[in-house]
Amino acid sequence: MVHQIWAALLYLCGILLNAIYQCPEYSQLTTQGVDGKEFPEPHLGRWYFIAGAAPTKEELVTFDPVDNIVFNMATGSAPMKLQLRATIRMKNGLCVPRKWIYHLTEGSTDLRTEGRPDMKTKLFSSSCPGGIMLKESGQGYQRFLLYNRSPHPPEKCVEEFQSLTSCLDFKAFLRTPRNQEACELSSN
């Protein structure tokens, strides 16, 4: 009898805590962008990778050797396509260029990566000025990634991102060290 009362009391405390403490809200971006401009125009241009979070470290292992990454998002050669170029500064000093083509999903901000049918990318707003979050998922992984227009956003932005993702049970967290200068983006 005492065990049943104790279990019921713990259960009620759990419900009360869940009602009081909820994860902070984040909202998926809509097709209408900033100042009424159509997506993706407000999201074109230069972005810096700041941090990532995932349920496990294995889902972030690709970023372990990285010092910093700078991206450029541009319109693609055809409607409903975006071209993403990046230069990755490895911790050993090497610069590694990369290119992706994203296909826009009509009526949403979901992106599909060309050549990776299993990969799905969703864009989310960030409370951080000049910030954006991406949720990538595919076969066997999911992760949130924080980007910013500045290579060094306010510390509060990274703390809020870590708090949000931790609340969503993403236990692994990685922040790029940015100890070296960013590599130059190629013009082609």
Least confident of 54-68, 79-93, 116-130: 116-130
Q: What's the CATH code of the domain at 64?
A: 2.40.128.20
pLDDT above 50 (res 12): no
Portion of the chain with pLDDT greater than 70, in percent:
77
pLDDT, residue 128, reads: 85
Q: How confident is the model at residue 57 (pLDDT cuts 50, 70, 90)?
A: very high
Strand ranges inside 10-58, DSSP E: 45-54
Q: Give CB contacts under 8 A, 24+ apart, made by 84-88.
A: 85/185, 85/186, 86/185, 87/182, 87/183, 87/184, 87/185, 87/186, 88/183
Contact 115, 21 (CB under 8 A): no
Whether 102 maps to a domain, the answer reads yes
pLDDT, residue 155, reads: 94
pLDDT, residue 79, reads: 80
Burial group, residue 161, by CB count within 10 angstroms (0-12, 13-18, 19+): buried
- The C-alpha atoms of residue 79 and residue 82 are separated, in whole angstroms, by 8
Q: How confident is the model at residue 30 (pLDDT cuts 50, 70, 90)?
A: very low
Q: How confident is the model at residue 186 (pLDDT cuts 50, 70, 90)?
A: confident
Whether 147 maps to a domain, the answer reads yes
Burial group, residue 89, by CB count within 10 angstroms (0-12, 13-18, 19+): buried
Strand, coil or helix: 59:
helix
pLDDT above 60 (res 38): no
Whether 25 maps to a domain, the answer reads no
Portion of the chain with pLDDT greater than 90, in percent:
46
Angle 33-119-124 (CA atoms, 0-180°, nearest 5)? 25
- Residue 110 vs residue 34, higher pLDDT: 110
Whether 185 maps to a domain, the answer reads no
Q: Which domain holds residue 64?
A: 31-175
For the whole model, what pTM was predicted?
A: 0.80
Whether 62 maps to a domain, the answer reads yes
Whether 144 maps to a domain, the answer reads yes
For range 114-143, the mean pLDDT: 87
Q: How confident is the model at residue 5 (pLDDT cuts 50, 70, 90)?
A: low
Q: How many domains does the chain have?
A: 1
